[in-house]
Amino acid sequence: MSGDTIVKPTTYGGVPPVLVDYAATAGFSWADARRRLAPGGRLNIAAVALDRQLELGRGDVTALRCIDRGGAVTEVSYRDLHGQACRFANLLQGLGVGRGGRVFSLLGRVPELHVAVLGTLRQGAVFSPLFAAFGPGPVLDRLQLGRAEVVVTTDQLYRRRIKDLRGQVPTLRHVLVLDPEPDIADEVVDLRAALAAASPDHPLAPTTDEDMALLHFTSGTTGTPKGAVHVHAAVVAHHVSAASALDLRPGDTYWCTADPGWVTGISYGVIAPLTHGVTSVVDAREFDARGWYGVLAEHGVNVWYTAPTALRMLMRSGSEVAAEFDLSALRHIASVGEPLNPEVVLWGQRALGLPVHDNWWQTETGAIMISNYRSMDIRPGSMGRPLPGVEATVLARGDDGRALVVDGAVTPVPAGELGELALRRGWPSMFRGYLDADARYRSAFAGDWYLTGDLARVDVDGYFWFVGRADDVIKSAGHLIGPFEVESALMEHGAVAEAGVIGKPDELAGELVKAFVTVKPGVVADDALRRDLLAFGRRRLGGLAPREIEFDQHLPHTSSGKVMRRLLKARELGLPEGDLSTLEATR
């Protein structure tokens, strides 16, 4: 575990944190949280996100502030969004898509995405988002695996991605297209026209807590993406975690930068903020440092949920750019998706006026599980502590590097020791299956514990420290080395923008640590810098230091933004590159 630095909580304009005292949450109960959200009994994600908000008198509050690609801003109130979602549900009803029917989206960040998610859930159907930049293969695989009945998309994406493969997805009956050109009018449903023609009154489907609601594909960082099944009860975890981990509360302006093609973009981009009656900024534009600071400043964003890769890009663009903008409305910054380098936490404090709060979760967990809270000291490099209601532990491992299970039983390791991160089953957003992969689902559990596939340590104060994925950890000369620690150390060097670290087979050491390094703009990547970085690594890391450094201005990322170490490794070793369906095209 690294770092003696501690970042103390500050009072940020005198607004107290939602979670005031972590120690006082010991009596937290999911059942109580559920009752508070749906006192009438029936639980449906869309009802918590919209109907409940209207009941609470928030109909006129702006739910979405949408910025289109040209920068034009439109607002959608809770009442309007509710009406649109009801129309979408009626549209599905008219198309014969009912409870359990599968509705997929291939859309960017547009308000129709929200309408489709909420209308689908209201109708009791299942929603599955696809990443709009997927190539034809990944789209086809997922539509087939998910037995898609409906796809919601744009004219352009329909032509590029859906039209030609319709014949290969026998379950696919309808494609709803946003603003179709006349030449495809016979093949598709004109979404806007169909919504306008549908009734805004829709009886909520009689869903149960355990009805399937969302199908999310994992990022494919370690292999072929898996389809994780989630149920309506998940909304209880979305709601609770957005309060405790993201500090969200009614009246906030909130911006989640995750793409809606991934779990974060739906759980925290669509659902969670609505359950709190906040205003979400929905920006259709691509990343641009000045553009992003502009959004934070102009829209007075209070809570910002983003990812390490985006923060590293902002850092790379220079703190002076941040200083041009008034970021004083910001109260909380959180990050998820891959390890958050300590350097980035501290840069946040210097350049943005707030430290970045790391949190950890997976597609499978459906909601934030481990987090740094506003009210708690941050230990930069640590993911924080389990959410109230979540029990996490670190389990002893067997020879295969995964948790050792003997007669169904597992053993926690003492504080400070490395093991597999596990969660006690029972939180509401836990996945209920991998689609068509029951055996794989069952093997993810040992007794009461869900085994996450990530390696971690927990310190004596209960802070969890991410070490690596069980598949990524490097064994060198008897040491176990998490690539993240090495990457973070390299990033402390002024010339380094980003790093990806792998184990490279070595006769003597088993594996040696090799780092691929992206340098900051204007830095010359030459031998002198390589030597300097090797020496810098040795000073910081001793025996864990990289022995080889290669400069690479285009590290491969997944389309959800993670450094794809398995691809760096495959390329290094000249091995097949494996499933590349989630490789980000360019950066």
Query: Cβ distance 81 to 278 under 8 Å?
Result: no
Among the listed residues 142, 402, 469, 493, the single contact to ligand ATP using CB under 6 A? 469
Q: Measured over all CA atoms, what is the biggest interatomic distance in the chain, rounded to whole angstroms?
A: 71
Compute the distance between CA of residue 118 and CA of residue 116 in angstroms, rounded to an integer.
Answer: 6
Please pick, from the candidates 108, 220, 348, 546, the single residue that binds ligand ATP as defined by CB under 6 A: 220
Number of residues that bind ligand ATP (CB under 6 A): 24
Phi, psi of 253 (to 5 degrees): -105, 130
- Amino acid identity of residue 121, one-letter, is L
**339 is a contact residue toward ligand ATP (CB under 6 A):** yes
Place of tokens 């695996």: 145
Q: Show contacts with ligand ATP in window 86-125 (CB under 6 A).
A: none
For residue 74, the cross-strand partners are: 66
Name the CA dihedral angle for 210, 370, 414, 542, rounded to a multiple of 10 degrees: 140
Least Å from the CB of residue 241 to ligand ATP: 13
C-alpha–C-alpha distance, residues 233 and 62, integer Å: 26
Q: Which is nearer to Mg ion, 124 or 220 (CB)?
A: 220
Binding footprint of Mg ion on the chain (CB under 5 A):
218
Q: Find the angle CA(352)-CA(354)-CA(359) to the nearest 5 degrees.
A: 115
SS3 for 75?
A: strand
Instruction: Quote the CA–CA distance of 587 and 585 in Å, as a whole number.
Output: 7
C-beta closer to Mg ion: residue 279 or 309: 309
Nearest to 369 by CA among 385, 346, 347: 385
CB–CB of 392/423 below 8 Å? yes
> Smallest gap, in angstroms, from Cβ of residue 486 to ligand ATP?
14
Separation between Cα atoms, residue 564 and residue 309, nearest integer Å:
12
Binding span for ligand ATP by CB under 6 A among 62-70, 190-198, 216-224, 410-418: 216-224
Q: Which residue has the tokens 């549908």?
A: 198
Least Å distance between CB 181 and ligand ATP? 35
Element housing 66 (H / E): strand 62-67
Q: What are phi and psi of 421, to 5 degrees?
A: -70, 130
Stretch that binds ligand ATP, among 107-115, 212-220, 286-294, 398-406 (CB under 6 A): 212-220
Residue 248 Cβ, how far from ligand ATP at the closest point, in Å?
18
Residue 495 CA, distance from chain mean position: 28
Binding to ligand ATP by residue 363, rule CB under 6 A? yes
532 pairs with which residues across the strands?
A: none
Nearer to ligand ATP among residue 93 and residue 264 (C-beta): 264
DSSP state of 23: G
Q: Which of 88, 131, 360, 536 binds ligand ATP (CB under 6 A)?
A: 360
Q: Which residue has the CB atom at the shortest distance from Mg ion?
A: 218
Least distance from C-beta 376 to ligand ATP, angstroms?
Answer: 15
Contact flag: residue 209 with ligand ATP (CB under 6 A): no
User: Whole-number minimum distance, CB 291 to ligand ATP, in Å?
Assistant: 25
Contact with ligand ATP (CB under 6 A) among 466, 490, 503, 545 = 466
Nearer of residues 207 and 222 to Mg ion, judged by Cβ? 222
Local structure of 231: helix, strand or coil: strand
| 8 A C-beta contact, residue 451 and residue 403 | yes
Q: Binding string to ligand ATP for residues 368 to 407, with x set by CB under 6 A, is what?
A: ---------------x------------------------
| Contact between 420 and ligand ATP per CB under 6 A | no
Q: x/- contact string, 297-336, with ligand ATP (CB under 6 A)?
A: ---------------------------------------x
Q: Given the rule CB under 6 A, which residues bind ligand ATP?
A: 218-223, 225, 336-340, 358-360, 362-363, 383, 452, 454, 466, 469, 560, 562
